[in-house]
């Protein structure tokens, strides 16, 4: 049994797919859903929300972090993100930084190349510890 065998990856993927179905994507028609397991056992989700002013579009990870704050906070233990076909997506660099801010120390992500730690997908990251 590895350190992360208790992560309900199938449930995270299903929750991400459900969130993806709620995406607002009239411009790109590229829905994305995300789900995270928190350190208190809750699962939260988010979807992308586009805007006619493309730069204002919100990624699914942004919606997820907003849901985290609105639901009482916590830290992300595990994360999964999918596209409209339910295929695993790797968060972009901006979103990796956003997730890093709210990670649990042992956070892992389902990626296109398997389960990876946050430190593997965002090595030498800048974070709150640099501002203390």
Q: What is the pLDDT of residues 63-82, one digit of tens each?
A: 999 999 999 999 999 999 99
For residue 15, being part of any structural domain is answered with yes
For residue 1, being part of any structural domain is answered with no
CATH number of 102's domain:
3.40.140.10
For residue 93, being part of any structural domain is answered with yes
CA 118/CA 47 separation, integer angstroms: 21
Tens-digit pLDDT profile for residues 14-32: 999 999 999 999 999 999 9
For residue 75, being part of any structural domain is answered with yes
For residue 129, being part of any structural domain is answered with no
**Considering the chain, what percentage of its residues have pLDDT values greater than 70?**
98
Residue 110 belongs to domain spanning: 9-117
Catalytic residue among 11, 50, 61, 120: 61
For residue 124, being part of any structural domain is answered with no
Handedness of CA 120, 126, 128, 131 (dihedral sign): positive
For residue 127, being part of any structural domain is answered with no
18 is catalytic: no
- Predicted model pTM: 0.92
Directed axis angle between helix 60-70 and helix 9-20, to 10°? 110
Mean pLDDT (the chain) is 94
């Amino acid at each position: 049994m590895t350190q992360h065998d208790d992560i309900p990856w199938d449930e995270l993927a299903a929750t991400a797919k459900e969130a993806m179905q709620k995406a607002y994507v009239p411009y790109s028609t590229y829905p994305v859903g995300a789900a995270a397991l928190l350190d208190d056992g809750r699962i939260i989700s988010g979807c992308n929300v586009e805007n006619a002013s493309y730069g204002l579009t919100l990624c699914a990870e942004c919606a997820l972090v907003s849901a985290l704050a609105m639901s009482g906070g916590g830290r992300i233990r595990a994360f999964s993100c999918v596209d409209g076909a339910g295929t695993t997506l790797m968060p972009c660099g901006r979103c990796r930084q956003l997730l890093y801010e709210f990670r649990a120390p042992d956070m892992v992500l389902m990626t296109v190349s398997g389960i990876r730690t946050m430190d593997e997908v965002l090595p030498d990251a800048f974070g709150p510890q640099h501002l203390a």
